Each structure stands twice: as structure tokens, then as C-alpha cells.
Amino acid sequence: MEDKDDVTKKVNVEIWKNFFKYLKPYKRRFILLISLNVGLGFLDSTFPMFTRYAVDNFIANKNFDGLPLFALLYVLAIAILSLIIFLFIKYAGKLENQMAYDLRKKGFLKLQELSLSYYDNKAVGWLMARMTSDVTRLSETISWGLVDFSWGITVMIGVTVYMFILSPKLALITLLVVPPLAIISVYFQRKILTAQRRVRKINSEITGSYNEDIQGAKTTKTLVREELNLKEFSELTSSYKRNSIRATVISSIYIPIVITIASVGTALAVVNGGHEFLAGAITYGTLFAFITYTGQFFEPVMQMAAILADMQIAQASAERVFQLLEEEPTIKDSPRVIEKYGDLTNLRRDLLPPIKGDIEFKNVSFSYKEGEPVLKNFNLKVNAGQTIALVGETGSGKSTIVNLFCRFYEPTEGEIFIDGINYKDMPIKWIHENLGYVLQAPHLFSGTIKENVRYGKLDATDEEIIEACKLVDAHKFIIQMEKGYETEVGEGGGLLSTGQKQLISFARAIVRNPRLFVLDEATSSIDTETELIIQKAINKVLSGRTSFVIAHRLSTIKNADRILVIHDGEVIEDGTHRELIKSKGYYYKLYTNQFIEEKSVLALEK
């Protein structure tokens, strides 16, 4: 999937201003690091003055009076320098790791808050790259690079002051190279930023490609796409290689230019300083200190050039991370609801009324894309405890009705009521915490069977887990396993059969004792024998709960209270199985054809 990020095309001060609000929790540590670096820069710029004093007094004049005190001060300065470096490395490392931890935590929370529509056009690799490599790049640059910037500025200021103290004339001559250096730096920083944006974009695509190839390994094998996949991936990695090399080449050209200009400045200082010394205008110690200062002045310039290059790269990462962190969910609680009931992480559950299960769709219209309506003025009333089966061809609107009922999406027009309350007047969690949902392809998490069932209710006791598994007829096959409920399910439930995964997903949903239930073609991918087991589980699970069942196999919905036949977002038939068979309409034809097909398959199997 192409990365369509709308990022800035130049250095954006607003991005960095925005980032400082994320630095508030580390304000003291950040100030401490800057203070340490300022102290370090001051000491670094002061050491040549020690050398000047030693050369002019102890070496040139061969007078060693005061040498012990000088040595003591010099050693003390080195000790303070060492302590500052130790503290800087310690706290910069802590800042880097804490910042990365907090950004990833915020990112993970944001991903929980975002609506399902956000994931419709975002690949897993796109999201993974932001929470891994982009966060790492950003935290490293801020904790080390940005703080080092304060050291560079302090050294440059200190060195400039000392150079003007020693010789204003030589200082001015040496600093002649700074304006061209600044112009070249601005030019190259823009080039580097553009190149790095491209590199980060392709990095997301590579992460996404890895994810898709791993998840689709079986499909790749069955379609014999290994060579084609390798070719596509090779093209992607080749593009990454080309763009990475281009970005590196730009940086590798920039740094030598800075070094060359810095060397010109040093040469100017040596030549003119030599003339000044021969003319007796300055001492040998002053000349020695000045040459040292010219090197010291351009060392932070070169380091700051590298830091600026890193910050250009980090800006590309910052744009991407902040784009995720500041993404607004399309489905969210209103300020009035949050004020009354609390937010996602601090919900006042004691204020929420229990759900009985009366549902009403009132003049509901909905479209995923503007101008392409899926539902138009859809109306439906469901009594508490009823099981509603939805039947229809692909694209008829069955899943849309369920998604609106679950509040994964909201109507573009019209209203949906639960127990007579417009569900927009209640927190999203009011529905979701009372909802059981079983998918066609259930997803199990790495861990044991017990852990996967408990995922539906984290404080569930072992007895509640076992009871839920018994209710859905999963207990029988679980206790036959060597480790029973402690059996590992593997990644995605890969160590279990499709039917076993489905039954565990039923238990996971039912352990919460939800008032609302959704089955999304939960028996379409299993064999007939397992279907009978799951059908018994469905009858038990749905009893007394308001439920929607999207059915592929019509034999599984014969006991539904109402069967709705959906066509182009409208209900064209509504009734029980018997009533619809008697009417001999669309449902009758669909059921008869499927019944004949299943009979033919069974005959062939025999």
C-alpha cells in the first residue's frame, strides 16, 4: 500500500514546537541535560586558556611559581568535566528510553481509540514502522542530538568570546568563513530532508511487505507466487538501497565541505597569527591557544552540521509519529458524554444503565464513500432477546447494519436507539462492554486456551472460564488435550483446528455475559460435523440475548426469531424460516438451491 502522508516539504518549526508538549513530563531532566552540556561547553572552551597560561608562564618564562596551584585547578577541572560527562550519558540514556516507551504507549492507546475506518486504508507495516523505527529515531535525536546542540552553541559562544579577548583582528579573520558555511548548510539540509523522507516511506512499505508475506505464506505456496513475491520485494529493497545511498552520498558530500571550509578558517588563523607573533603583537601562548580555538570552533560546527542532518531525518520521523498520535477518531464520544460519564480510560460505569436489548434503526442512511450510499432510510425494530438473521448477497449491506449496530461506524443520517436511548448520548464503551462478537475467522492470541478465554474478561475465575467453555461445548475437546486449559494455541491459534478456534472464540465472547451478540458468518469455514456442534453452542449462547447473525449457511439460522433478506440496503423479506419458505420468495429460492447443493455434496462424499 502506498504511503500517502501529507508531510511538510521543508524544515518545519511548528513540528518541533509541537514536539515540546510531549517533552513536558521530562522537563526537569531535559533542562538538567542542557545545563550539563552548557557546563561541558564552558569547560571545553576554557581549557585552551589553561594551556596559554602554562605556555606563557611556565614554559616561555621558565618560572614555575604557582605550578602546584595551577595543577590542582587543572585536575579539578578535569574531574568536574568527567563527572559532567558521566551524568550526561546516564540521564540522556534514561531520557531516550523513557521517551521511546511513552511515545509507543501513547501510540498504542491511540490505536485502541481510533475507529475501524482508520484501519480500512492503513497497512500493518505502515503502523509498525511508526511505532518502532520512527519512534527510535525521534527519541535518539532528541535525547542526544538536540541536547548536544546546546553544547555546540555554548562552545562556539565561549570560543568566540575568548578569541576576541585574545585578538579581535584574528577572530574576525577566522570567522570570515562562517557565512558561506551557513549558506551551504541550509542548502544541504533541505536535500537531506527530502532524501530521508523517501527512505522512511519505503521503510514502511518494506515492513508492510514483510507482514503480508508472512501472514499470507499459505496463499503464496498454493498460488506458487514465491518468485513473483521475491521479484516485487527485491524491487522494493532495491529502491530502499538506492534512496538510502543517495541520502548517504548527500551527507557524505556535505560533511567534507564543512571540514574543508573549517580548515580554511584554521589556515587563516595560522598564517595571520604567525605574522602577529613574529611582529611581537601576541605571545606564543596566545598563538597556541588561538590555533586550538580555531579547531575548537569548527569542531562543534561540524558536529552541529551532523546533528542538523539527523534532525532533518528525525523531522521526517516526527511528522509520521505525530500524524498518528494526533489522528482524531471518526467515532468518538461527545464532550457532553465525556463530562457526564468519563473518557475511554476513566469510565464511570456506575452511572451507566444496564442494557436490556431493545434496538431501533430510525431512518438510517450510511455510506463509506461520499455519493455511494449503502443504506437509505433504513428502519428496523428489534425486541430485547430476539435473534435477527441477516441474509443477502455480497455487498447488500448486512455487515454495514451490524457495524452500525455495534457502533464501529455511525449513521451519516438518522438515529439508532438502544433501550430507547440514542446511542450517541452514551459512551461507546456502553455498547462494547455489553457486546459479544464472533468473527468468521476468529483470531486467537499467543498463549494458552485459558488465557485466550480470559481475554474476554480479565478478572474471570477459572470456574467462569470452564463454565463458558462448557456452555459452548468446548470443554470436551479441551480436557482431552494433554495440558487441558494450559494448552498453547500458537500464534493466531495455528495449533488448533478451525472449529476448535471458533468454539474458544465463542467462550471468550460469552465469558463476559454480554447482552448483545453478533455472529459474522461464524460457521462458513468449518465442516458439517463441527457445524452441528457450533450450532448447538449458538442456540445456547444466543438464548435471552439480542443478537444479529450474518449467515452464509442458511441451515444455521432456521431457529432465528426473524430472518431479514437484505438487497441493496433494504429489507425485501422479513419473517421466520417457516413464513419465508411458505411465501416462496427470494429466501425460498436461496434456501432451496443451497439445500440441493448440500445434498449433492453429501451424495458425492458417500
Lowest mean pLDDT among 504-513, 528-537, 541-550: 528-537
Cα gap 562→389, rounded to integer Å: 6
Which has more pLDDT, 56 or 220?
Answer: 56
pLDDT value for 254: 77
Percentages helix, strand, coil for the chain, rounded to the nearest 5?
65, 10, 25
Mean pLDDT for the stretch of residues 552-579:
86
Cα gap 341→320, rounded to integer Å: 32
Cell of 60: 616561555
Please answer whether residues 383 and 557 qualify as being in contact, where contact means their C-beta atoms are separated by less than 8 angstroms. no
Cα gap 428→414, rounded to integer Å: 18
pLDDT value for 4: 43
Mean pLDDT for the stretch of residues 389-411:
89
- What confidence category does residue 12 fall into, taking pLDDT thresholds of 50, 70 and 90? low
- What confidence category does residue 488 fall into, taking pLDDT thresholds of 50, 70 and 90? very high
pLDDT value for 490: 85
Give percent above pLDDT 90 in the chain: 15
- What confidence category does residue 436 fall into, taking pLDDT thresholds of 50, 70 and 90? confident
pLDDT value for 319: 78
- What confidence category does residue 426 fall into, taking pLDDT thresholds of 50, 70 and 90? very high
Q: How many helices (H) and strands (E) does the chain have?
A: 22, 10
Mean pLDDT for the stretch of residues 413-437:
91
Mean pLDDT for the stretch of residues 26-31:
84
Reply yes or no on whether the pLDDT at 452 is more than 80.
yes
285-344 pLDDT, tens digit per residue, is 888 888 888 877 777 776 776 677 677 677 777 877 888 888 888 888 888 999 898 887
pLDDT value for 449: 92
pLDDT value for 599: 56
Which has more pLDDT, 596 or 499?
Answer: 499
Cα gap 434→420, rounded to integer Å: 16
Mean pLDDT for the stretch of residues 559-588:
89
User: What 3-state DSSP class applies to 570?
Assistant: strand
pLDDT value for 498: 81
* Axis crossing angle, helix 226-278 with helix 284-325, rounded to the nearest 10: 150
- For 113: left if phi > 0, alpha if psi spans -120 to 50, otherwise beta; the answer is alpha
Cα gap 505→441, rounded to integer Å: 10
Please answer whether residues 381 and 359 qualify as being in contact, where contact means their C-beta atoms are separated by less than 8 angstroms. yes
β-strands 387-391, 359-369: how paired? unpaired
- What confidence category does residue 5 fall into, taking pLDDT thresholds of 50, 70 and 90? very low
Mean pLDDT for the stretch of residues 406-428:
92
- What confidence category does residue 388 fall into, taking pLDDT thresholds of 50, 70 and 90? very high
Q: Domains of the chain (ranges plus CATH)? A: 13-325 (1.20.1560.10)
Mean pLDDT for the stretch of residues 261-269:
80
Which has more pLDDT, 6 or 143?
Answer: 143
Reply yes or no on whether the pLDDT at 359 is more than 90.
yes
pTM of the entire predicted model: 0.64
Q: How many residues does the chain have?
A: 606
Reply yes or no on whether the pLDDT at 124 is more than 80.
no
Cα gap 457→511, rounded to integer Å: 7
Reply yes or no on whether the pLDDT at 1 is more than 50.
no
- Mean of the per-residue pLDDT values of the chain: 81
Cell of 519: 455472529
pLDDT value for 252: 78
Count Cβ atoms below 10 Å from residue 489 Cβ, excluding itself. 20
174-200 pLDDT, tens digit per residue, is 888 878 877 887 787 777 767 777 787
Mean pLDDT for the stretch of residues 397-422:
91
Reply yes or no on whether the pLDDT at 24 is more than 70.
yes
